[in-house]
Amino acid sequence: MASAIREGKTGLIFFPAFDWAISPTHPEREERLLYTRDQIFEEGLMDLPQIEEYKPRLAESKDIARTHFCVPDVESQVTEAHLIAAGSTLTLADAWERGEIRNGFALVRPPGHHSMRVVHGNRGFCNINNIAILVEYLRSRYGHKRLAVIDTDVHHGDGTQEIFWHDPDVLCISFHQDGHTLYPGSGFVNEIGGPQALARTLNIPLPPGTTDEGIHYVLDNLILPVLKDFQPELILNSAGQDNHYTDPLANMRFSANGYAQLNEKLAPDICVLEGGYAVESALPYVNTGIIQAMAGLDYSHVREPDYVPGSFVQSDAMWREIKKTVEQVNEAWAEREEMVQMALEGLGDFYRRKKRIFYDTDMINESQEESVRLCPDCPGYMTISSSAQRGHGILNNAFCVSIPRGACSSCREDASEEYEEHLENRRIGYVYLQDKDRDRFKFCNNMTRTQKGY
């Protein structure tokens, strides 16, 4: 919303990590942004007066700890490539805050939107969640409160959803190919957030084969009106490019032009690249289109070599399904306040849930028990008890405590007590205290009895 009235250039950070891969033949490999580099450099986009290229910096361990509980610690979960990708979003945030840019695009890898609050390893090609790290940075550094994350990747943004599940001030909207047919198998209409934040998480599962028209229907009839209601201070786009009709890992029929138009309408303040693995047939064109749309340039000349306008048509059944989904989600949005009220009435002092998380890349099984205090005076502190096992390897147990921004003194005391109580408990390997209110983070390795802080 904000960018409609902002002036200035579009900030671009291009960090293709040409020397980083998950494995040599993995989709997330060195070659992924090579042709994108060729295309955007050949177009001379960086020379245009509407665009300013920035150099990325490394995110600090503290920036990661503000969002994640990395087991055993930040340093063992991230490589330099992750820090640069996350740092790129922070560099753009700084430029945005200084008023140097009207909007910014972190065209970086590795991606992040499948990373959840607790990190035991890589899942869905992601170790740390770049856009969530950006959200926490915007809040702690610049005091922003209401932010919206729109996940336009073909896969459900389950990591981002999980991180902001209980937060009524971060609106997370994800549209994606139906979880019955695609990784990570979640993101259904009934996933709408924790009891205090119902309908601040919205999921729009779409049938395989959804076209430009279908996605723009969702945008026009659901996402844009909800954003207008919510009035976020910044709109962030978790900009995956795998809805493209040539993507090898998914089955949608979105075009480069469709992506460009989406970004023109959505007018995100900061875009962060997520997935997209059609390295030759989609990425060069989609990225060119997104950059042009953000910079207010004409994107009508961007066209994939094999694209024939009008060749993708949705069946009536698909249309019915999409419209029904949009209607359902709109209803949830409209009733959000009542739903929260009702949910809280039926609960006691704590809300608890158990969940299992599978890390496909690293073959890790994690089980968690999450607890949030339903505090009348503040957002309430949270604890997560997590145990994870890689294959048949060792079991890693962690106990994580999070103090929210604006915590009341009673939540602060109780949270600190929970942390202290779990120290010295040799059945739990690692204990964490994430104090978002004071921007301080510490953890203890119970086996070696060493403490560390950021």
Q: What is the contact surface with another protein in residues (CB under 8 A)? A: 13-20, 24-25, 29-31, 34-35, 37-39, 41-45, 47-48, 53-56, 58, 79-81, 84, 248, 280, 284-285, 288, 292, 297-298, 300-305
Closer to another protein by Cβ: residue 16 or 168 = 16
Q: Which is nearer to another protein, 278 or 403 (CB)?
A: 278
Cis peptide preceding 376, ω within 30 of 0: no
Q: State the minimum distance, in angstroms, from the CB of residue 8 to another protein.
A: 18
Beta bridge mates, 450: 445
Answer for the pair 227, 269: CB distance below 8 angstroms, yes or no.
Answer: no
Contacts (Cβ under 8 Å, ≥6 apart) of 271: 103, 104, 105, 106, 236, 237, 239, 263, 290, 294
Query: 119 in helix, strand or coil?
Result: strand
How is 228-286 classified by DSSP, letter by letter? Answer: HHH--SEEEEEE--TTBTT-TT---BB-HHHHHHHHHHH--SEEEE-----TTTTHHHH
Nearer to another protein, 14 or 125 (CB): 14
Smallest separation, CB 306 to another protein (Å): 8
Nearer to another protein, 183 or 430 (CB): 183
User: Nearest-CA neighbor of 111 among 249, 271, 262?
Assistant: 271
One-character DSSP codes across 386-444: EEEEETTSPEEEEEEEEEPTT--HHHHHHHHHHHHHHTT-TT-SEEEEEETTTTEEEEE
Q: Smallest gap, in angstroms, from Cβ of residue 352 to another protein?
A: 41
Nearer to another protein, 199 or 260 (CB): 260
Find the shortest distance in angstroms from Cβ 80 to another protein: 5
Residue 222 DSSP label: I
Which among 113, 114, 155, 166 is annotated as catalytic?
114
Q: How far is the CB of 32 from another protein (least distance, A)?
A: 10
* Residues 433/444, Cβ–Cβ less than 8 Å: no
Q: Going by C-beta distance under 8 Å and a sequence separation of 6 or more, which residues neighbour residue 366?
A: 118, 120, 356, 357, 358, 359, 386, 387, 388, 389
- Would residue 114 show up in a list of annotated catalytic residues for this protein? yes
The one-letter code for the residue type at 205 is P
| Residue whose CB is less far from another protein, 280 or 439 | 280
Q: Give least dist CB 31 to another protein, A.
A: 5
Q: Shortest approach of another protein to residue 211 CB, angstroms?
A: 20
- Both tokens of 129, joined, read 């969640």
Residue type, 411: C
Sign (positive or negative) of CA dihedral 132, 64, 127, 417: negative
**Nearer CB in complex with another protein: 58/344:** 58
Which residues are catalytic, by number?
114
